[in-house]
């Protein structure tokens, strides 16, 4: 698991994306060849995927998507595969073509083409990476070996912060929750190698097996670093003991969803008292922070506990842990093959059930997008995102915002006072479509064709310093948290903006050839989803300026919590795999956004249909206009997931599995039951429904 210094400014963003916002890379080199032709996109509504033997009133996901796996089974290089993945594959192909052209060289390359082409070319040069072996890591390995006392840790960990090594903790910047116009310093918990703190403590056969596999994974890595079998085994168990101690004082993933739980401003001197094992003034200075006198310590108990862990752990174990974290935190594409394969074996094969590693070209496309996303994205937008797509999306966004305005007015449980404040926040939402108005400047980033490791390290240091430099400066509200080719979308509560990268504004989510009903059900639901995030259990705590501010009356807040509790219990009842249920509390924000978002899209769709004099009951290809709306929504989630990935998702991801992002929503909309003739009491039309928005 990797931690970026910028993680704090997007801590809530990670729980306000359409899909999982970030997944640690877990692939390795495999086939080098790209597909001979561009992967085809599927339409917004594809009748091939329908399983008409299923009853839509019993399981609408099966009815609308049951045949998808027959046409698109999960490839061996994926842990899941769906309609959205087809678009990801398409975008990767487009980026690959652009990068191959840039990598071919030529005097006419722009500075950005030089950087993206050489970054990609160096990543693809596996012979050079293999020839260098661990040489690029040796200065850090030597520095760890030379540690003579724990007092020397401050300087080393400061260096690790700049290079994204996930040891012990993370420091970075964020918008101040109480004054969103300010950028402040923050310190957060980190240092774990398993996906989430509860992986260290869950009981049962499956969790215990994962822990055993993890210890063996560390053992194998330490052997590759040169340890004897005996030393590697000893180090692995000691590292596991250290990480377990860190996990004990870490906040669990569900508690971290509550904004007040991760906001504790304190003088820097107080952090020194809380965690005297490190010199925090020196650490921040060596991490290139500007002079700061106070800092948000997201979890004070963690830093107090981490101090105890440092005091009680012998230096030899700490040094072994630092070596492990150095390798485990590295961009996998720059690792020698033996290390890369080992990382994939645990993170990909064992944790996610992925049989094979992704092709090298895919991984290098992804790595280049992470490091130089706006340089690459600028060219991508010119090729793939016409002005007509931006205009159509913007119009739909405005229609759905208008629908929310109307819906707020009609709410019977909210007072006029809170409604007025909710509308003020709604009207302040900034709409970002496609790409930023001002492109990022990469002129100071050095990229060399023969230095894959150096490129990756310079890339993360460049980005981390860019983030650090924001501290004490005015907030740039035009900045994006995703690159233009990304197939995703997000809401940022501190910015109070909704963001739709160009990458997602294509079929099947937005299909220019599909009916309006289909597009409103699909991309309209996406727009409504992100807009609703501004009013989910987290987003509702921020005002229109992005400040953590209680703008609710006590009575309205109580009513909201009662409605939200209904959704929590509803999703708690869904069984994801074996005996593992969906975590209704962890997924509350996303479930609220799924449900509220589709309802907003439906309201906007009806208004649009009325304006165009559309007959809602007229059938096209056997389905009424309203049925097309719900089918369009559902087919955006078509796909399947490997059991291992499903278990990982339910335990770490604030998004529900795809089946429940369909069935869990339509069963709360009586309009769906009416459209498909469902009887009250059937699974998709229960007597009791949950509705927050």
Q: Is residue 103 part of a domain?
A: no
Q: What is the DSSP letter of 265?
A: E
Domain co-membership, 556 together with 668: yes
Catalytic entry in 530, 537, 556, 570 = 530
314 included as an active-site residue: no
Domain co-membership, 201 together with 65: no
Q: Is residue 249 part of a domain?
A: yes
Q: Is residue 106 part of a domain?
A: no
Asked if 508 and 83 count as a contact pair (C-beta separation under 8 A), the reply is: yes
What the block records as the tokens of 527 is 């727009």
Asked if 185 and 296 count as a contact pair (C-beta separation under 8 A), the reply is: yes
Asked if 464 and 9 count as a contact pair (C-beta separation under 8 A), the reply is: no
Domain co-membership, 413 together with 321: no
Share of the chain above pLDDT 90, in %: 92
Please name every residue paired with 577 in a beta bridge, in sequence order, or none if there are none: 580
Where among 289, 309, 325 does a domain terminate? Answer: 325
Domain co-membership, 662 together with 572: yes
Other residues' Cβ atoms within 10 Å of the Cβ of residue 260: 9
Strand-strand pairing, 490-492 and 294-297: unpaired
Domain co-membership, 285 together with 420: no
- What distance in Å separates the CA atoms of residue 537 and residue 573, rounded to the nearest whole number? 20
Would you give the distance in Å from CA 226 to the centre of its chain? 35
Q: Domain count of the chain?
A: 2
Other residues' Cβ atoms within 10 Å of the Cβ of residue 473: 11
pLDDT digits 0-9 by tens, 286-343: 999 999 999 999 999 999 999 999 999 999 999 999 999 999 999 999 999 999 999 9
- What distance in Å separates the CA atoms of residue 533 and residue 539, rounded to the nearest whole number? 6
- What distance in Å separates the CA atoms of residue 138 and residue 160, rounded to the nearest whole number? 14
What the block records as the tokens of 267 is 């003088």
pLDDT score of 36: 66
Dihedral sign of CA atoms 299, 301, 302, 307 in order: positive
Q: Is residue 391 part of a domain?
A: no
Domain co-membership, 278 together with 413: no
Helix/strand/coil for 72 = coil
- What distance in Å separates the CA atoms of residue 468 and residue 460, rounded to the nearest whole number? 12
Where among 301, 325, 349 does a domain terminate? Answer: 325
Q: How many residues does the chain have?
A: 693
Low-confidence ranges of the chain (pLDDT < 50): 1-11, 22-31
Q: Is residue 289 part of a domain?
A: yes
Helix/strand/coil for 88 = helix
Domain co-membership, 317 together with 410: no
Domain co-membership, 184 together with 306: yes
Q: Is residue 172 part of a domain?
A: yes
List the one residue out of 594, 631, 617 whose CA is nearest residue 518. Answer: 631
Domain co-membership, 320 together with 403: no
- What distance in Å separates the CA atoms of residue 382 and residue 631, rounded to the nearest whole number? 31
pTM of the model: 0.95
Going by C-beta distance under 8 Å and a sequence separation of 6 or more, which residues neighbour residue 430?
Answer: 477, 495, 496, 497, 498
594 included as an active-site residue: yes
Q: Is residue 144 part of a domain?
A: no
Q: Please give the full DSSP string across 388-425, using - where no structure is assigned.
A: HHHHHHHHHHHHHHHHHHHHHHH-SSS-HHHHHHHHHH
Dihedral sign of CA atoms 552, 556, 558, 562 in order: negative
Asked if 604 and 400 count as a contact pair (C-beta separation under 8 A), the reply is: yes
Where residue 536 sits, what CATH number does that domain have? 3.40.390.10
Radius of gyration of the chain (CA): 25
- What distance in Å separates the CA atoms of residue 153 and residue 156, rounded to the nearest whole number? 5
List the one residue out of 148, 168, 149 whose CA is nearest residue 158. Answer: 168
CA atoms within 13 A on the CB side of 38: 10
Q: Is residue 560 part of a domain?
A: yes
List the one residue out of 347, 314, 434 whose CA is nearest residue 385. Answer: 434
pLDDT score of 579: 84
Q: What is the DSSP letter of 194?
A: S
∠ CA(243), CA(246), CA(248), 5° rounding?
115
Domain co-membership, 193 together with 281: yes
Helix/strand/coil for 335 = coil
pLDDT score of 14: 53
Domain co-membership, 624 together with 527: yes
Asked if 535 and 529 count as a contact pair (C-beta separation under 8 A), the reply is: no
Domain co-membership, 318 together with 405: no
Catalytic entry in 173, 537, 556, 594 = 594
Asked if 122 and 452 count as a contact pair (C-beta separation under 8 A), the reply is: yes
Residue 320: give the domain boundaries: 168-325
Where among 265, 293, 325 does a domain terminate? Answer: 325
Where residue 229 sits, what CATH number does that domain have? 1.10.1380.10
Strand-strand pairing, 619-620 and 580-581: unpaired
């Amino acid at each position: 698991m990797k931690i970026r210094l910028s993680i704090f400014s997007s801590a809530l963003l990670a729980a306000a994306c359409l899909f999982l916002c970030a997944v640690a890379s877990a692939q390795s080199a495999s086939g080098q060849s790209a597909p001979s032709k561009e992967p085809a996109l599927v339409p917004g509504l594809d009748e091939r995927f329908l399983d008409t033997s299923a009853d839509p009133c019993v399981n609408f996901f099966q009815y609308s998507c049951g045949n998808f796996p027959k046409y698109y089974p999960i490839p061996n290089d994926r842990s899941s595969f769906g309609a959205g993945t087809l678009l990801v594959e398409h975008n990767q192909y487009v980026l690959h073509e652009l990068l191959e052209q840039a990598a071919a060289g030529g005097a006419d390359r722009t500075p950005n083409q030089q950087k993206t082409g050489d970054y990609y070319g160096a990543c693809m040069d596996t012979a050079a990476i293999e020839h260098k072996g661990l040489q690029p890591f040796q200065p850090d390995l030597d520095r760890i070996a030379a540690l003579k006392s724990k007092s020397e840790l401050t300087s080393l960990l400061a260096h690790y912060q700049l290079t994204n090594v996930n040891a012990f903790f993370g420091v970075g910047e964020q918008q101040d929750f109480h004054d969103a116009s300010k950028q402040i310093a923050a310190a957060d918990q980190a240092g774990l190698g398993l996906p989430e703190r509860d992986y260290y403590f869950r009981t049962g056969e499956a969790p215990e097996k994962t822990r055993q596999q993890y210890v063996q994974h560390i053992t194998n890595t330490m052997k590759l670093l040169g340890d004897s079998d005996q030393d590697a085994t000893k180090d692995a168990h000691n590292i596991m003991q250290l990480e377990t101690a860190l996990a004990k004082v870490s906040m669990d993933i569900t508690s971290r969803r509550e904004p007040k739980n991760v906001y504790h401003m304190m003088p820097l001197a107080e952090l020194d008292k809380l965690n005297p094992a490190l010199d925090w003034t020196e650490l921040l200075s060596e991490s290139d922070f500007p002079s700061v006198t106070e800092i948000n310590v997201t979890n004070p108990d963690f830093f107090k506990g981490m101090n105890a862990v440092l005091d009680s752990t012998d230096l030899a174990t700490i040094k072994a842990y630092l070596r492990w974290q150095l390798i485990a935190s590295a961009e996998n594409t720059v690792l020698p093959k033996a290390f890369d394969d080992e990382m994939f074996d645990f993170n990909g094969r064992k944790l996610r059930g992925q049989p094979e590693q992704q092709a090298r070209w895919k991984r290098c496309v992804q790595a280049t997008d992470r490091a130089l996303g706006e340089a690459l994205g600028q060219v991508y937008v010119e090729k793939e995102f016409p002005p007509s797509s931006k205009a159509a999306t913007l119009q739909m966004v405005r229609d759905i915002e208008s629908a929310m305005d109307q819906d707020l007015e009609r709410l019977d449980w909210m007072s006029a006072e809170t409604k007025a404040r909710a509308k003020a926040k709604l009207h302040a939402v900034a709409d970002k479509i496609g790409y930023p108005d001002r492109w990022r400047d990469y002129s100071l980033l050095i990229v060399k064709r023969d230095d894959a490791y150096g490129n990756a390290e310079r890339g993360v240091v460049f980005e981390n310093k860019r983030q650090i430099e924001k501290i004490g400066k005015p907030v740039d509200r035009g900045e994006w948290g995703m690159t233009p080719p990304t197939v995703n979308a997000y809401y940022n509560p501190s910015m109070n903006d909704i963001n739709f990268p160009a990458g997602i504004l294509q079929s099947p989510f937005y299909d220019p050839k599909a009916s309006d009903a289909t597009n409103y059900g699909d991309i309209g639901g996406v727009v409504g989803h992100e807009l609703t995030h501004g009013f989910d259990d987290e987003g509702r705590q921020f005002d229109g300026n992005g400040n953590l501010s209680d703008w609710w009356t006590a009575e309205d807040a109580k009513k909201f919590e009662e409605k939200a509790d209904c959704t929590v219990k509803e999703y708690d009842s869904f069984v994801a795999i074996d005996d593992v249920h969906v975590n209704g509390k962890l997924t509350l924000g996303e479930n609220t956004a799924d449900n509220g978002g589709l309802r907003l899209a439906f309201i906007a769709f009806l208004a649009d249909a009325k304006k165009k004099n559309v007959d809602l009951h007229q059938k096209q290809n056997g389905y009424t206009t309203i049925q097309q709306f719900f089918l369009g929504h559902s087919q955006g989630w078509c796909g399947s997931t490997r059991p291992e990935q499903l278990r990982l998702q339910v335990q770490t991801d604030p998004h529900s599995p795809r089946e429940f992002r369909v069935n869990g929503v339509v069963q709360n909309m009586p309009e769906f039951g009416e459209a498909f003739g469902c009887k009250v009491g059937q699974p998709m039309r229960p007597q009791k429904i949950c509705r927050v928005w």
